[in-house]
Amino acid sequence: MEIDDETINSTGEEEDKKKPIVAILVGAPGSGKSTFCDHVMRVSTRPWVRVCQDTIGNGKPGTKAQCLALSNTSLKEGKSILIDRCNLDKEQRSDFINLKNSHKVDIHAIVLDLPAKLCISRSVKRTGHEGNLQGGKAAAVVNRMLQKKESPKINEGFTRITFCYNENDVQSAMDMYGSLSSVNTLPGGCFGEKKTDSKVQVGIMKFLKRVDPPSKVTSDKTDKTDKTDETTPGPSNDGEEEKVPFENGIPTLGFPSISTADFQFNIEKASEIIVEKVEEFVNKIGNGRLVLVDLSHGSKILSLVKSKAAKKNIDPKKFFTFVGDITKLQSQGRLNCNVIANAANWRLKPGGGGVNAAIFDAAGPDLDTATKKQAGSLSPGTSITVPLPSTSPLFSKEGVTHVIHVLGPNMNPKRPNCLKDDYQKGCKVLRDAYTSLFENFASIVTIQEKISDSDGDVGTERNKKFKGFTEESESKKVNKEWGSWAQALYKIAMHPEKHGNGVIEILDDVVVLNDVYPKAQKHVLVVARAEGVDRLSDVREEHLPILRTMHAVGMKWAETFLKENESLIFRLGYHSEPSMRQLHLHVISQDFDSKHLKNKKHWNSFNSPFFRDSVDVMQEVSEDGKPKLNDDEKFMSMELRCNRCRSAHPNIPRLKSHIAICKSPFPDHLLQNGRLLHASTKL
């Protein structure tokens, strides 16, 4: 962390100098919160009190209420406090932030966002921990807690947020707070490791992340990339922005306000049209999301649109506003937008300034070349979609697969074809522009959904970058080359520590992931970490130990779920021919109660011979040296039949209505050899 320009501020009003500080530590177990507090309290001349829930009950774990009580008492005595709790989500932080309502204090967040692998390693190895979080159980706890992580934002009520992404950052922050006297203050705002163009450079954990939504990760579709130190924007003025960066796998359009910058369209009128068109399209884009993006924290257009959208009761998970650079939404803001809109000029040329120049510059010459193949010019009120080559930096670094060029009306008299305050025509053109933009995005979403629907492997609605559009036919070949999107599980299996928000358990031989598009109430994947076992056809007798490990881990998770809901019944098995590289075992409840189960192929991939029970696979490998594969396409087109009584149904809605009430016993072959697991099964 560079603190050259984070010089401690000893100027200002005397009253402000003496304000106590409520420093809220934010970080997973093992991130170094207690060490941070101990250091600051040891070296600082400012009076600090550590508020730790692990020890607040006379040296034993206590409650949040006890922490708040000690905080209030300490603040009344004029002491600053260090809140030593995980505080990973907004709700956990809110009560401590509200201390400013009864005390004149500065509220700081110190975010110890160290790599999950490091936090897990520390937690597992430590002994004598105050909260007894140590040893083998620590890894699962850390992973589970990281799934709920929400990065702090100024609009929660913070005066200052300091981000730390490695041990050097933490040391700098400890030194900075340790050097505070009782009359020193720190400047407000968001501060991180590096700064570029007045934005804070931070290291992020993609995917995942958060994420997601909030969120589970579709392990059959998620393409996670290595993390680097990158830039994060300041806080959004969008209050409902909850863990949006970790809602991965959801097709998302990031778009700027069209024509309100260089083309000087009236912002009030523009905000009305944006909300009008969002309301019209928000339910026409499948599971997609729309995100209005602006660079400025004081953006009037974001404020107006947010307010108007709230009055219209537009689902904030389907549409929200976001502060950030549209060319760096993933690296800066942890928001994955696979599609971004460009406020283009009519010639579709790079340069000129604003969003257009920024997008062409970030995408490199590939975007210009790809655009020329699509069109040479653009008329006001229209848009075109340009698939972005994978060689483009915008694709490889930010996960952007498509740029939609859109041209709005011009109200700037210094530019050609000015409408000269003709807002009757201008509003029509702007409405047409957003209509065209959202229709093009809806087409991308439809393509993506068709790909996932044609896939025999459940949960493969493709990865967050939607890279498989041109590779689907190849993915069905037995001797196929894995497409870029299909490498996701392999990457997670080999480096699970880089994907903490999507991984619910890490073991030496397997990782376990939730599916963001589950096809039943409970649906997880147990993924092998061994090299060279891409799919079931690769399995041989030497792989029997890993099959047994995967089965045992799957059984353990089924048992966990059954303790939560004894009515569930589970089946463990493999798809004969998966679409994602790396052998993975499905652990899925047999209710199939999920909005993501949409078509015949989804159903038949789990309820036909295409699905191979884990117990059968292990037996076949043990006896024959390899498993039997039922990978004929005919299984995907079989008629829809109830998994219990085997009655036929014409479509998925009718089938779902039936299975919700069917109480028939399961077919005999499923009741044998431990293929089904339920509460009375001895696990």
SS3 for 278-343 is HHHHCCCCCCCEEEEEECCCCCHHHHHHHHHHHHCCCCCCCEEEEECCCCCHHHHHCCCCCEEEEE
Whether residues 46 and 107 share a domain: the answer is yes
In a domain, 8, yes or no: no
Highest mean pLDDT among 58-72, 257-271, 446-460: 257-271
Q: What is the model's pLDDT at position 59?
A: 76
Whether residues 185 and 333 share a domain: the answer is no
Backbone region of residue 674 per phi and psi (left: phi > 0; alpha: psi in -120 to 50; beta: other values): left
Q: pLDDT at residue 198 above 70? A: no
| CA distance linking residue 476 with residue 212, whole number of Å | 29
Confidence of residue 3 (pLDDT cuts 50, 70, 90): very low
Q: Please report, for the domain that includes residue 309, its CATH number.
A: 3.40.220
Element (H, E) at 164: strand 160-164
Length of the chain: 683
Q: Please report, for the domain that includes residue 609, its CATH number.
A: 3.30.428.10
| Window from 20-29, 451-460, 553-562 with minimum mean pLDDT | 451-460
Q: pLDDT at residue 79 above 80? A: yes
- Measured N-to-C along each axis, helices 33-43 and 167-178 cross at an angle, to the nearest 10 degrees, of 30
In a domain, 341, yes or no: yes
Output the CA–CA distances (angstroms, integers) from residue 239 to 232, 305, 320, 546, in the order listed.
17, 13, 9, 46
Q: pLDDT at residue 422 above 80? A: yes
Q: pLDDT at residue 461 above 70? A: no
Whether residues 545 and 642 share a domain: the answer is yes
pLDDT in tens, 327-382: 999 888 778 899 999 999 888 989 777 899 999 999 999 899 989 887 888 889 99
* Phi, psi of 133, deg, nearest 5: -95, 95
In a domain, 228, yes or no: no
Whether residues 288 and 403 share a domain: the answer is yes
In a domain, 6, yes or no: no
Nearest CA among 201, 188, 215, 143 for reference residue 19? 188
In a domain, 501, yes or no: no
| Average pLDDT score, the chain | 80
Whether residues 187 and 263 share a domain: the answer is no
Whether residues 84 and 186 share a domain: the answer is yes
Confidence of residue 579 (pLDDT cuts 50, 70, 90): confident
Could you give the residue numbers annotated as active site?
Answer: 584
Q: pLDDT at residue 189 above 70? A: yes
Q: What is the model's pLDDT at position 586?
A: 96
Whether residues 70 and 183 share a domain: the answer is yes
Whether residues 524 and 641 share a domain: the answer is yes
Of 165 and 141, the structure prediction assigns the larger pLDDT to: 165
pLDDT in tens, 302-314: 999 999 999 999 9
Whether residues 100 and 173 share a domain: the answer is yes
Q: What is the DSSP annotation of 166-192?
A: SHHHHHHHHHHHHT--TT-B---EEE-
State the total domains in the chain: 3
Boundary-marking domain end, from 444, 461, 481: 444
pLDDT in tens, 157-188: 998 999 988 888 888 888 888 888 877 777 77
Tokens 């649906």, located at residue: 523
| Window from 132-136, 229-233, 392-396, 610-614 with minimum mean pLDDT | 229-233
Contact 194, 231 (CB under 8 A): yes
Q: What is the model's pLDDT at position 249?
A: 62
pTM, two decimals, is: 0.39
Strands 383-387 and 402-406: antiparallel
In a domain, 435, yes or no: yes
Boundary-marking domain end, from 444, 471, 490: 444
Q: Which domain holds residue 63?
A: 14-192
Q: What is the model's pLDDT at position 17?
A: 53
Q: Which long-range contacts (CB under 8 A, 24 or more apart) does 307-313 make?
A: 308/271, 308/272, 308/275, 309/275, 309/278, 309/279, 312/275, 312/279
Confidence of residue 448 (pLDDT cuts 50, 70, 90): low
In a domain, 339, yes or no: yes
In a domain, 659, yes or no: yes
Boundary-marking domain end, from 153, 168, 192: 192
Strand partners, 253: 290, 339
